[in-house]
Amino acid sequence: MGERTQADRDAVTVEIGYALFSAAFAAAVVFGVIAGPKLTFAMPYAVERGLLTAGAAAAAVVFPVRVVSVLWRFSRAPGRPGRGSEPGEPGKPGQPSQPGRTRPDS
């Protein structure tokens, strides 16, 4: 495995930050949707406690699933630097910069 450039390291850092932020946001939304009725409606204590527990459990599942899915997608991105393809052209190997040249050593 070759050495990573500063741009590669920066891209990974940004992607990790995005994964954590978006996972926290998604978990908060899921928790709010499930536990939100507790704030809106008067309910028995057992139901309120159940909503809080279900909301926390769902948020605890959503957070790591979102982090893993974002980072997995990033690691498989065809246009990512060092993956051997041009941005925007999934699955195609990198091409020489000069038109008409078809061999990498020409």
* Cα–Cα distance list, 59 to 20, 44, 92 (Å): 13, 23, 38
Confidence (pLDDT) at 77: 76
How far apart, in Å, are the Cα atoms of 16 and each of 65, 71, 93? Answer: 14, 7, 26
pLDDT number for residue 75: 86
Domain ranges of the chain: 7-75
Task: For 42-101, write each residue's pLDDT tens digit.
Answer: 999 999 999 999 999 999 999 999 999 999 999 887 766 555 444 444 555 555 566 666
Given a cut of 70, whether residue 5 has pLDDT beyond it is yes
pLDDT of 33 strictly over 60 = yes
Estimate the crossing angle of helix 6-40 against helix 45-75, to 10 degrees: 160
For residues 52 and 35, the answer to whether their CB atoms sit within 8 Å is yes
pLDDT at 98: 61
